[in-house]
Amino acid sequence: MSNVEAAVEPRNEYVDFWNTILVPKFVRWRHIIVDGLTLHSAKIFPSLEVQEGDKVVDAGCGFGDTAIQLARLVGPTGSVLAVDCCDGFLAYGRDDARAAGVSNVTFLEADVQSYPFKPEHDFCFSRFGTQFFESPVAGLRNMRKTLKPGGVMTMVVWRGIKDNPWLGHAKEVVLKFLPPPGENALSCGPGPFSMADTGVVTKQLEIAGYTGIEFEQVDAELFVGKDVDDAVAFQLALGPAGEVYREAGELAEKRHDEIAAALRVELAKYQRPNGIIMDSSSWKVTARNPG
Ligand SMILES: C[S@@+](CC[C@H](N)C(=O)[O-])C[C@H]1O[C@@H](n2cnc3c(N)ncnc32)[C@H](O)[C@@H]1O
């Protein structure tokens, strides 16, 4: 299987935001996104219902590290279709797969919500991708349509901001200096905490046609910076604190030094020998395609 594929589709506002605003920031902070989230998914991967020989989809695969991990799990008789709406991320996945000698993964640029997938997969996975769908039910339904009857979907989504101090603490600090984003703020979609409520997500999955819906709480420590300065710069670029900072424009630039100093004090509390480590919490959500 080749590992390059592209589907040209009309973009929506959120997909545009990912491509223009977030890709450069994610690339700049790739060491935190990839290494940080790896600590988290290390807790999730051992219990995934993936077998050797399976055909798998990784929806919203970002830099493709989980797709490569899945490709290794299914082995040469299986395959992984790794999908993201940003080719800027997929380029890293293609390079990393090639460098690792992993040839059973195909990287596809497409909107997961609308791409006409074939119902030929055993397993559909998404780590922190589905929370950003403009239309969660349409996206979840389309993920179900990737599956054979009896196929399994597992998505990992953040629990609430209070359960995720790695994102919440910095936002609290920044809001002491800057106003919250207005109603017309540019956005990456519903956002990291949009699937925190198990009641809402259960309903979304039921409407999308899934059965056998299960939630498992997964708590993990996250690497959020090599040192305090790295962690401060990361928080001002991405996540809820980064959104407040970006939307405040010139005011944020003017108050940068005070904000950074206050963040430094907060984040220094989480310094360990290997960097800044903070708590995070997610739901591992598993659901089945009845066919
Ligand atoms: C927080 S990142 C997670 C990336 C990766 N799964 C990981 O765990 O590192 C969310 C990803 O979802 C992708 N995404 C958001 N909406 C999408 C959509 N409608 N179709 C495809 N990908 C989407 C973004 O481009 C981004 O790569």
Domains and CATH numbers, the chain: 5-160+188-222+281-288 (3.40.50.150)
Ligand 1: residues with CB < 6 A are 15, 18, 33, 37, 60-62, 66, 83-86, 89, 111-113, 127-129, 132-133
CA–centroid distance, residue 24 to ligand 1 (Å): 14
Which DSSP symbol is given to 216? Answer: E
Question: Within 13 Å, how many C-alpha atoms sit on residue 240's CB side?
Answer: 23
51 vs 60: CA distance, rounded Å = 21
Ligand 1: which of 85, 140, 157 to mutate, judged by most atoms within 8 Å of the beta carbon? 85
pLDDT-derived band of residue 12, with 50, 70 and 90 as boundaries?
confident
30-75: pLDDT as tens digits: 888 887 788 778 899 999 999 999 999 999 999 999 999 999 999 9
User: Residue 247 is encoded by which pair of tokens?
Assistant: 């939307």
pLDDT over 80 (residue 291): no
Residue 5: predicted pLDDT: 52
- Give me the mean pLDDT over the 190-197 stretch: 90
Residue 76: predicted pLDDT: 96
pLDDT over 60 (residue 4): no
pLDDT over 60 (residue 196): yes
User: Residue 116 is encoded by which pair of tokens?
Assistant: 């006409």
55, 58, 182: which is closest to 129 by C-alpha?
58
Residue 36: predicted pLDDT: 79
Burial class (CB in 10 A: 0-12, 13-18, 19+), 188: middle
CA–centroid distance, residue 93 to ligand 1 (Å): 13
pLDDT-derived band of residue 11, with 50, 70 and 90 as boundaries?
low
User: Of all residues in the chain, what percent carry a pLDDT higher than 70?
Assistant: 95
The three-state secondary structure class of 110 is coil
CA–centroid distance, residue 61 to ligand 1 (Å): 6
CA–centroid distance, residue 261 to ligand 1 (Å): 31
243 vs 237: CA distance, rounded Å = 8
> Looking at 25-34, 91-100, 206-215, which range is the least confident one?
25-34
- Measuring from atom 24 of ligand 1, which residue has the nearest CA? 60
